[in-house]
C-alpha cells in the first residue's frame, strides 16, 4: 500500500507526442433532475478508457464477542477484517466517496418501482446507509446484516431516523445468521474491494443469493468488470522501489524485492497511461458461481505513443443493468477519483515501447489459500519491441 504524492505525475513521452484522450463514455449522463435530495452521483461523465474486449471472459468471519466500539485490546489477526469495520473512520471515508454513495442512492431513488413493497437484504450493511435508502424508497422490509461492532451503531441510526419498523439490523456473519424470512426479493451490497476482489466479500454475497434470493430476484449491482492498462511511472518507482538499492550507502535490495511483490493502491494520473485499456473479465453477480472469482485472463496492451512502461494498472467498473437507465461507475484513472483508487503492479524491468508495439500476456487471480480475503496474482508477460525484448513472470500478493 502507499500514497502517491499530491498533484499527480505527468509522463514524459520519448518523442514529445501528444497525450492520448479518453475516447468513450461507458455510461450516459442523466440530464434529468435527480429526484428527492439526490445530486450528481457517478463519475460516468468523465472520459474513460475504451477497453478492447476481444479477449473478454464473461462470468463475476467469525464475529467477535460483544464489546464496545473503542475496545482495542485482545485482538488477533483473525479478528482484524471485521474489527477494522468497527471504527467510524473507514465508514466516513466510504460515505464521503460521493461517486460510490450517490450512485447507490440514485439507483434506489430513481428506480423506486424496483423496491416498492419488496423485501431487501443488505449484505455488509455498515452504518446502514443503503438500508435507509431502500426503506425511504418504499421497501416493505429491509434486513441489514453487519458482522462488525458497527451493527450496534446502525441500530441506533435506524432508530434515530424513525425506520425501526422497516429496517431490522442483524449482527453476525451472513453464513451463520438466520433471517426471519425464507426469501428476499432484492440483495444489495457494496462488496467491492481494492482490485475489485480484495477482501473476498463477493463470495458472501453469492452465498446470500443462493440461500435467500427468490427466483428472478435482483442482485445490486449485478455486473462488475476488471480492466488492465500500462503506465509510465519513473519518478514514483524511483522513490518507492529503487530507493532500497542504496540506503545511506547500504544495500537493502531485499526490501525492494518485497516492495515489488505488494501491489500499490493509489491514484494514477491519466496522463501516465501509455496503452489501451484491456477488459480482463466481466462478472455477472446474479448468475456466477463462487469459483468464477478465480480466473486467468489474457491481455494485449498496445502502445499509443513512444514511452517507457514501469507498471501495469488494474481498475474496475460496476453497473446496475436492471434500472430503467443503465447506471454505474468506474474506478479508472480517467474517471472521477474514488476511495478504491487503482491497483499498481510494478514491473521488475523498465520497458521501452514504441507506438503500435504490444505487450501480451495473462493475469491469474485467485484467493490466497491460507487467507481467502487476500489475493494472489500471477502476471506473465512478453514484449518484443525495437528497443527491448523480454518475457517474464511476476508474482504479487495483496495483503
Please, which residues bridge with residue 303 across strands? Answer: 275
SS3 77: helix
395: buried, middle or exposed (CB in 10 Å: 19+, 13-18, 0-12)?
A: exposed
Confidence at residue 90, expressed as pLDDT on a 0 to 100 scale: 84
Distance CA 62, CA 64 (A): 6
Domains of the chain by residue range: 78-190, 223-398
CATH superfamily of 78-190: Vaccinia Virus protein VP39 (3.40.50.150)
Confidence at residue 43, expressed as pLDDT on a 0 to 100 scale: 65
Q: What CATH code would you report for 223-398? A: 2.70.160.11
Positions in the chain short of pLDDT 70: 1-87
Confidence at residue 42, expressed as pLDDT on a 0 to 100 scale: 59
Question: Quick one: how far is CA 379 from the chain centroid?
Answer: 19
DSSP state of 394: E
Q: What is the pTM of this model?
A: 0.82
Query: Please, are residues 186 and 119 in contact by the beta-carbon 8 Å criterion?
Result: yes
Cell numbers that stand for 65 in this block: 464477542
Confidence at residue 268, expressed as pLDDT on a 0 to 100 scale: 97
**Active site amino acids:** 190, 199
Cell numbers that stand for 260 in this block: 515489488
Confidence at residue 87, expressed as pLDDT on a 0 to 100 scale: 66
In the Cβ-directed half-sphere of 375, how many Cα atoms lie within 13 Å?
Answer: 24
Amino acid at each position: 500500500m502507499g500514497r502517491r504524492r499530491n498533484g499527480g505525475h505527468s509522463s514524459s513521452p520519448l518523442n514529445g507526442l501528444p497525450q492520448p484522450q479518453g475516447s468513450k463514455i461507458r455510461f450516459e449522463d442523466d440530464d434529468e433532475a435527480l429526484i428527492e435530495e439526490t445530486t450528481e452521483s457517478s463519475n460516468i461523465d468523465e472520459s474513460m478508457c475504451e477497453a478492447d474486449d476481444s479477449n473478454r471472459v464473461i462470468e463475476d468471519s467469525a464475529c467477535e464477542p460483544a464489546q464496545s466500539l473503542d475496545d482495542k485490546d485482545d485482538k488477533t489477526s483473525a479478528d482484524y477484517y471485521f474489527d477494522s469495520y468497527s471504527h467510524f473512520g473507514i465508514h466516513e471515508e466510504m460515505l464521503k466517496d460521493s461517486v460510490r454513495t450517490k450512485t447507490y442512492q440514485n439507483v434506489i431513488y430513481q428506480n423506486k418501482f424496483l423496491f416498492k413493497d419488496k423485501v431487501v437484504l443488505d449484505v455488509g450493511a455498515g452504518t446502514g446507509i443503503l438500508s435507509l435508502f431502500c426503506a425511504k424508497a418504499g421497501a416493505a422490509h429491509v434486513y441489514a446484516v453487519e458482522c462488525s461492532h458497527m451493527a450496534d451503531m446502525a441500530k441506533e441510526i435506524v432508530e434515530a431516523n424513525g425506520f425501526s419498523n422497516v429496517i431490522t439490523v442483524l449482527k453476525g456473519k451472513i453464513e451463520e445468521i438466520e433471517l426471519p424470512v425464507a426469501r428476499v426479493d432484492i440483495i444489495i451490497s457494496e462488496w467491492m474491494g481494492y482490485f475489485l476482489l480484495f477482501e473476498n466479500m463477493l463470495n458472501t454475497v453469492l452465498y446470500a443469493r443462493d440461500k435467500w434470493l427468490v427466483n428472478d430476484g435482483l442482485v445490486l449491482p449485478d455486473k462488475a468488470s476488471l480492466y488492465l492498462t500500462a503506465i509510465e511511472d519513473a519518478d514514483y518507482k524511483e522513490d518507492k522501489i529503487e530507493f532500497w538499492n542504496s540506503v545511506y550507502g547500504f544495500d537493502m535490495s531485499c526490501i525492494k524485492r518485497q516492495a515489488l511483490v505488494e501491489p500499490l493502491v493509489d491514484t494514477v494520473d491519466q496522463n501516465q497511461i501509455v496503452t489501451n485499456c484491456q477488459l480482463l473479465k466481466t462478472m455477472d453477480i446474479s448468475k456466477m458461481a463462487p469459483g468464477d472469482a478465480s480466473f486467468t485472463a489474457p491481455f494485449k496492451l498496445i502502445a499509443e505513443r513512444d514511452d517507457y512502461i514501469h507498471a501495469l494498472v488494474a481498475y474496475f467498473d460496476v453497473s446496475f443493468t436492471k434500472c430503467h437507465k443503465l447506471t454505474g461507475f468506474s474506478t479508472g484513472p480517467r474517471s472521477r477519483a474514488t476511495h478504491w483508487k487503482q491497483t499498481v503492479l510494478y514491473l521488475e524491468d523498465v520497458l521501452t515501447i514504441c507506438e503500435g508495439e504490444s505487450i501480451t500476456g495473462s493475469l491469474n487471480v485467485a484467493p490466497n489459500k491460507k487467507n481467502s480475503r487476500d489475493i494472489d496474482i500471477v502476471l506473465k508477460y512478453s514484449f518484443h519491441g525495437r528497443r527491448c525484448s523480454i518475457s517474464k513472470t511476476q508474482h504479487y500478493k495483496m495483503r
